[in-house]
Chains A and B, each alone.
Chain A
């Protein structure tokens, strides 16, 4: 796709101005807006699409009224709606939810193969999106979601929170504190980050799939065709769906898909790499089945500036530090080679505050702390790792254009087709 200089400059002009908009620090509503700036109704409304177990997490949020549920499985829909029949309506086809004009936000609690197309259709229908992790199943889908959110001016977040709230998983510290340490330059540069059992993370290899699934009759309460949606058709087996889908490449990517965004999103933030991606990815893993996700030992990702991100799935490096720079290391639990680190931390300036009130972001049309842009970048780490594991060869990536370099066939894993009528 060649473009004229004029078009390119107009586009880059637009990109820069939007980027400046993102950098705008958050000014509270009472400073920015008068009464006319807010939506007419302060009371937002929302819907949950996908009523599996993760949707329970989405029930108690009170920034918006929950008025619709949707699931392709009648049993699950009924279970989730139990006791809420008065205030909410149930749907089997999410397109009916999107067609409702009175819904502001949709929560996507479906398996990941649905996230991309659903988020884009939701944006087209004027809905803001609260999306379960991982953001998308492929890098291509993620790029399209980013474009759609910008174009339709929607507010988007991923349902993980470790970059701005709670201890950063098993590391036992706040991501913010790690960011402070990195920002201070105490560790030096480049960094080497290890995400493994030793540094406080569990890669959940139990999410492996079973090869050789035998076809089974589809249960009457499940609309299997809609469950598959954009994914290639494969005969039904109970192990593919509900609660086990992570074990199959068509829908997710095992423990990487399950925990990846929780673990890696804060890492990108801590390293200050929210707009960047690695340039070289290498995996050590046993051969993968075409359908079922298997285990993996180690994924190494290198950034252009020499930083390294190691996913040590086999927990081989028993001495690994969470963060390691030429001048110091920080281990799990904030143990460090730098004396008195906790104390020193207190006197360091806090990083730029993050916008963490989703309802407020919806009302003021401003970006949430973890949005489609940085969320896509952290999900790209997962998707790159998946590609390297499946392909069995080292890949090189162009972080600007987000394409794999000199390996056109590998690009087929970046952009994967979908079953009609679904697309991104």
Chain B
């Protein structure tokens, strides 16, 4: 294609033009999902011209008479779009169209809508055109908004003109607009309103406008108005006067501004009791005349209003310091204090002598203000002045300390420490606190002499400060103190400081000074340094410690072992265990074991096998019972067979047996579920531990565990086995009879299926139970049969699991049968749903009565729908198909009953979204249960899904129910109609229909709930279940019919369940289609559509393809999408989903193609196979969830991820990436197909 660019381009262009869709189609694309798409649509509308705009404008209707939101989206989007820089041409076109539409519109709200769009894109033409609308009472406001947003001379002219003919309804709006636009020409008209209008609201507006405009002739009128009206009126007038002064500044008339501000301040009457306004006037005054306002401010500072004093002081910060100092010598203490704090805010060093003078004042508040002001100078002399001050006036110590804390110059730390070393200790107390709170940056070196002081308080405070602000430079000195100071408090404080500094800097750099000091230190000093090292965490420090543990010097070696035992990280475990095993000093052995055990316990990511190995080493090395007890306690938290046996070994030790027994119980019964590795030996250990354990929770738990798995004779264990096929890696067939069913310990990994495995019991015996344990992951299932034989030739099948699709579990599957004589037991594996291999973890065979449990008659759900299309959720015999609290519910006489005091939550294994559920239930007095729908298996179903109440609300204990708690209500959301429950003890019939956002509940023939839950964003799919509270209820005849072709929120159905609308037939391929002329394409399409109707049909809400003809294609093209499709095929079936007209997401029979469906099978460079085979057996419905963004495709099949963000290659032209858009196709591959629930969401 590359060698014909011009031709291709012209074809492309002509297609573009031809394809420019009609206006309604463009409107229909609203709201555009992103700006790019929006811009394309705008371009199309604008290219089509004014008629297109008129067509869109014509779609706007009065609110409440139809849904015109798509047109509104488009017009407002356009209004913003054309207002972009460089969009002037478009802007003019749209402005004209909107003005025309506005003129033509009759309805007030429609007119207002056009005016609102002109707010964003209107210009002078609109400002002029709206002049008359400004006098229309109904639309004056909307027009004024637009004119105000447009601004400029045209807007001013229109408003001024409109004001001349304003009515009482429009006057306020126009006055406001005149003010905001600064329409100076309107001043006279506004003044007339002030003089003549009787309407208070209008007068207020006029006064406000005068302040905004600031014309000279308004000044006297405004000031006159100050004395009229109520308090609110006065504060508005005052605000307008203040605005007037402000406006004078904007108009560069500072003298007028000052004059009016001073007039406002000079009014001494009631009005000036408003400190806020006075503050504002002062503010303007300072703005107007700068430091010429100082006199006014100094007058204000003598106000009896503290707020004025504070405001004036803030403004005085700008005044000359000398003047303020002078003023601060007289006046009341509070005035002087305010002035001093203003001086402080000037940060002027020359103020220091004057401020120091104020420190001598007799009034405390003045002194404290001076202290605070001096602190703000933040200099060495300032600090010295304060320190000197407390030498003579100890009463101010606290205030000085507060002040010093706020200082942060480098020299201040030095000043404080100099002062401290020279002053009496009692005065230092406050200083020490200051010291301890110093903030960086400081000069930490200055504190070192203090750290060496013999005075305890001093060296502690200095070290505390150093810990916060010290650097690596102080480390050598601190190390020296911690090693050599005669005072133990100093050593400790220095060690703490050194450690904190070290932790702040890079760990190896921190270690260097320690290493240096260590190298030249005496034996005694080395020991002291070693003690600190564990806090450093540097790997080199660990090396030094290990080295110390091996030296000949006893004190150093001792300190080394102690340090190693305190090391915080895992690398110390091995050397500690080595010391524990080999040390000749008893203390060292104890220290090492304890250190190691603690470290092992602290590792969160260590694998259990490694951990238990280490614990066992510690046990061997532990010298005394105390240490062994520590290890046993550590083992108690680990659920593994190896841990159990390690602990169990001490059950016979009189000194340790109680700890060992507790550990055994915790290991065995501490997990959430019964351990899979429980075998005979383990069981014996547990039984022994139970004998030792005192009465209590652990004894009870362990006893319950044993009772759950009583001792029984597994006849297959250790017996010879044979197989039809080889095994993978070391997973030999014998592993399936080794008594270990741990998933990781393996079993027989058979190299393929179908294949068989059999065990020889040695002699012919009577058996009645075989239990199979297959690999489990919550999803996969195995299809198999079990047969027995006396001679290995004639086989009798005793269990048939060849049709099962129930996932395997850790509990395995028991297969009970009538007692039979047998020597051989064979498992014939037909299929593993996940991959071709077989993974038999264990197979157990039991004689009658020796089996670990009584096995219920095996039963599967009868999945055949009845004449109305309902299938049963309950087989009447057992809880097959149900999960959760299966022990809390009983089954008798075809009824499920919630067991009193037990039954909690019982859920269907399957998930349902849209359905009709019918069931019968019977209540007992006061019984409370609930019906969960669309709920996850865990969490609160009344919050995540929906809970429909099942409740005997007639019982007296429910006298005060909330409306949404009565029977049938959707809990917390929708109350049900009451009074339709049958009396307690009688059967009720209930039907629940969940269809999209609509949930209806019909009780005994009456609809009691009919709710739209659209606004509650809950789960749209989930389990159905009974939510028991241990109250007895009964349920039976539980049947469900799933409803199809109802899209989840945000999705659009591609298939309506009725006919083929929205679909078309297939014409050639995308490249060939692009090359056709529009006429050719139309003709071909017509033929293809006819062909489509012959072979694709809708039967029972599903699209059915007869295996002839072509693929089915969506009428529309799609780019980035999320797509849901349910599909069903026959044996050897083959199909696929084409995205953007290209192959494909594969669908095929997993029996024939075991990789399974959902891969991008036409890829060459990128992955083509699915991650797992997640297909359900042929004949069942499968569900795809597909997401395609850009060229990447992600596919979930039956909720399993099968394709993870893989590039879909362009099959039609391998050199190109996949097309950006195209039709979705359901592929023909020559066989019968079914599709339903086809939904799309464009991204």
Q: Which residue numbers of A lie inside 8 Å of B, CB to CB? A: 1, 3-4, 6-7, 10-11, 13-14, 17-18, 20-21, 24-25, 27-28, 30-39, 95-96, 98-99, 101, 123-127, 150-154, 206, 211-215, 232-235, 284-291, 294, 297, 340, 343-344, 346-350, 364-365, 390-393, 406-407, 409-410, 412-413, 415-417, 419-421, 423
B window 7-33: CB within 8 A of A: 30-33
The number of residues on chain B lying at the interface, defined by a beta carbon within 8 Å of a beta carbon of chain A, is: 117
Give the top 8 A-B pairs by smallest Cβ distance, nearest first: A34-B365, A290-B76, A409-B83, A214-B64, A36-B334, A126-B276, A211-B69, A153-B279
Smallest Cβ distance from B1018 to chain A, in angstroms? 13
Contact with A along B482-495 (1 / 0, CB 8 A): 00000000000000
Chain A residue with minimal CB distance to B307?
A: A365
A33-B334, A286-B32 given; A24·B365 CB < 8 A: no
Q: Looking at the complex, which one of A10, A32, A126, A291 makes contact with B369 (CB distance below 8 Å)?
A: A32
B176→A420 contact, CB < 8 A: yes
> Within 8 Å CB of A32, what residues of B?
337, 341, 365, 368-369, 372
Smallest Cβ distance from B40 to chain A, in angstroms? 12
Q: Looking at the complex, which one of A30, A151, A393 makes contact with B279 (CB distance below 8 Å)?
A: A151
Contact with A along B238-266 (1 / 0, CB 8 A): 11001000000110101000000000000
Q: Would you call B49 an interface residue if the criterion is a C-beta within 8 Å of the partner chain's C-beta atoms?
A: no
Q: Looking at the complex, which one of A98, A152, A391 makes contact with B280 (CB distance below 8 Å)?
A: A152
B149→A124 contact, CB < 8 A: no
Q: Would you call B67 an interface residue if the criterion is a C-beta within 8 Å of the partner chain's C-beta atoms?
A: yes
B72→A343 contact, CB < 8 A: no
B276→A14 contact, CB < 8 A: no
Smallest Cβ distance from A295 to chain B, in angstroms? 10
Q: Looking at the complex, which one of B67, B311, B402 makes contact with A31 (CB distance below 8 Å)?
A: B402
> Within 8 Å CB of A233, what residues of B?
112, 141-142
Q: Looking at the complex, which one of A3, A153, A294, A340 makes contact with B276 (CB distance below 8 Å)?
A: A153
A21-B345, A32-B341, A349-B468 given; A38·B252 CB < 8 A: no
Q: Looking at the complex, which one of B75, B249, B315, B364 makes contact with A7 (CB distance below 8 Å)?
A: B249
Contact with A along B873-893 (1 / 0, CB 8 A): 000000000000000000000
**In whole angstroms, what is the CA distance A61 to B287 when docked?**
38
Smallest Cβ distance from B71 to chain A, in angstroms? 10
Q: Would you call B277 an interface residue if the criterion is a C-beta within 8 Å of the partner chain's C-beta atoms?
A: yes
Q: Would you call B458 an interface residue if the criterion is a C-beta within 8 Å of the partner chain's C-beta atoms?
A: no
Supplied contacts A153-B311, A421-B201, 13 more A-B pairs, CB within 8 Å: A13-B290, A24-B344, A31-B399, A34-B366, A37-B334, A124-B239, A215-B63, A232-B145, A233-B112, A235-B64, A285-B34, A393-B80, A393-B84
Contact with A along B59-86 (1 / 0, CB 8 A): 0000110011100110111001101110
B403→A101 contact, CB < 8 A: no
A125→B276 contact, CB < 8 A: yes
Most B-side CB within 10 Å, residue of A7, A215, A406:
A7
B30→A214 contact, CB < 8 A: no
B365→A35 contact, CB < 8 A: yes
Smallest Cβ distance from A234 to chain B, in angstroms? 8
> Within 8 Å CB of A417, what residues of B?
144-145, 148-149, 177, 180
B368→A14 contact, CB < 8 A: no
Q: Looking at the complex, which one of B31, B85, B205, B314 makes contact with A153 (CB distance below 8 Å)?
A: B314
Q: Would you call B1098 an interface residue if the criterion is a C-beta within 8 Å of the partner chain's C-beta atoms?
A: no
B116→A290 contact, CB < 8 A: yes
> Within 8 Å CB of B440, what residues of A?
349
Smallest Cβ distance from A185 to chain B, in angstroms? 12
A391→B80 contact, CB < 8 A: yes
Smallest Cβ distance from B535 to chain A, in angstroms? 10
Q: Is the interface of A mostly helix, strand, loop or mixed?
A: loop
**In whole angstroms, what is the CA distance A259 to B421 when docked?**
54
A420→B35 contact, CB < 8 A: no
A99-B232, A409-B121, A417-B180 given; A25·B406 CB < 8 A: yes
Q: Looking at the complex, which one of A24, A124, A420 makes contact with B238 (CB distance below 8 Å)?
A: A124
> Within 8 Å CB of B130, what residues of A?
none
A18→B314 contact, CB < 8 A: yes
**In whole angstroms, what is the CA distance A261 to B288 when docked?**
36
B64→A27 contact, CB < 8 A: no
In the complex, 11 of the A-B residue pairs with CB atoms within 8 angstroms, ordered by the A residue number, are A37-B365, A126-B274, A152-B276, A153-B275, A153-B279, A153-B307, A215-B109, A340-B503, A346-B500, A347-B500, A347-B504
> Within 8 Å CB of B317, what residues of A?
17-18, 20-21
Smallest Cβ distance from B438 to chain A, in angstroms? 9
**In whole angstroms, what is the CA distance A287 to B72 when docked?**
11
Q: Looking at the complex, which one of A98, A124, A412, A419 makes contact with B277 (CB distance below 8 Å)?
A: A124
B window 110-162: CB within 8 A of A: 112-113, 116-117, 119-121, 141-142, 144-145, 148-149
B307→A287 contact, CB < 8 A: no
A20-B317, A347-B503 given; A290·B337 CB < 8 A: no
B277→A152 contact, CB < 8 A: yes
> Within 8 Å CB of A39, what residues of B?
306-307
B334→A34 contact, CB < 8 A: yes
Q: Would you call B284 an interface residue if the criterion is a C-beta within 8 Å of the partner chain's C-beta atoms?
A: yes
**In whole angstroms, what is the CA distance A390 to B77 when docked?**
8
A14→B318 contact, CB < 8 A: yes
> Within 8 Å CB of B69, what residues of A?
211-212, 289
B231→A420 contact, CB < 8 A: no
B504→A290 contact, CB < 8 A: no
Most B-side CB within 10 Å, residue of A32, A284, A297, A344:
A32
> Within 8 Å CB of B832, what residues of A?
none
> Within 8 Å CB of A343, what residues of B?
503
**In whole angstroms, what is the CA distance A273 to B610 when docked?**
50
B149→A420 contact, CB < 8 A: no
Q: Would you call B371 an interface residue if the criterion is a C-beta within 8 Å of the partner chain's C-beta atoms?
A: yes
> Within 8 Å CB of B39, what residues of A?
392
A124→B276 contact, CB < 8 A: yes
A287→B235 contact, CB < 8 A: no
Q: Would you call B38 an interface residue if the criterion is a C-beta within 8 Å of the partner chain's C-beta atoms?
A: yes
> Within 8 Å CB of B290, what residues of A?
10, 13
> Within 8 Å CB of B307, what residues of A?
39, 153, 365
> Within 8 Å CB of B315, what residues of A?
14, 17
> Within 8 Å CB of A412, what residues of B?
83, 119-120, 149
Q: Would you call B333 an interface residue if the criterion is a C-beta within 8 Å of the partner chain's C-beta atoms?
A: yes
Q: Would you call B656 an interface residue if the criterion is a C-beta within 8 Å of the partner chain's C-beta atoms?
A: no
> Within 8 Å CB of B75, what residues of A?
290
> Within 8 Å CB of A365, what residues of B?
306-307, 310-311, 314
**In whole angstroms, what is the CA distance A7 to B368 when docked?**
37
A235→B77 contact, CB < 8 A: no
A32-B369, A211-B69, A215-B64 given; A20·B345 CB < 8 A: yes
A232→B314 contact, CB < 8 A: no
Chain A residue with minimal CB distance to B372?
A: A27
Q: Looking at the complex, which one of A13, A33, A125, A406 makes contact with B232 (CB distance below 8 Å)?
A: A125
Q: Would you call B230 an interface residue if the criterion is a C-beta within 8 Å of the partner chain's C-beta atoms?
A: yes
Smallest Cβ distance from B396 to chain A, in angstroms? 10
Chain A residue with minimal CB distance to B286?
A: A14
Q: Would you call B236 an interface residue if the criterion is a C-beta within 8 Å of the partner chain's C-beta atoms?
A: yes
A95→B205 contact, CB < 8 A: no
Q: Looking at the complex, which one of B204, B250, B337 makes contact with A1 (CB distance below 8 Å)?
A: B250
**In whole angstroms, what is the CA distance A415 to B120 when docked?**
12
> Within 8 Å CB of B385, what residues of A?
none
B83→A410 contact, CB < 8 A: yes
Q: Would you call B800 an interface residue if the criterion is a C-beta within 8 Å of the partner chain's C-beta atoms?
A: no
B window 527-541: CB within 8 A of A: 537
Most A-side CB within 10 Å, residue of B148, B232, B310:
B232
Smallest Cβ distance from A32 to chain B, in angstroms? 6
Q: Would you call B803 an interface residue if the criterion is a C-beta within 8 Å of the partner chain's C-beta atoms?
A: no
Smallest Cβ distance from B666 to chain A, in angstroms? 30
A287-B31, A421-B201 given; A212·B63 CB < 8 A: yes
Chain B residue with minimal CB distance to A93?
A: B232
Chain A residue with minimal CB distance to B234?
A: A99
Contact with A along B1129-1171 (1 / 0, CB 8 A): 0000000000000000000000000000000000000000000
A423→B34 contact, CB < 8 A: no
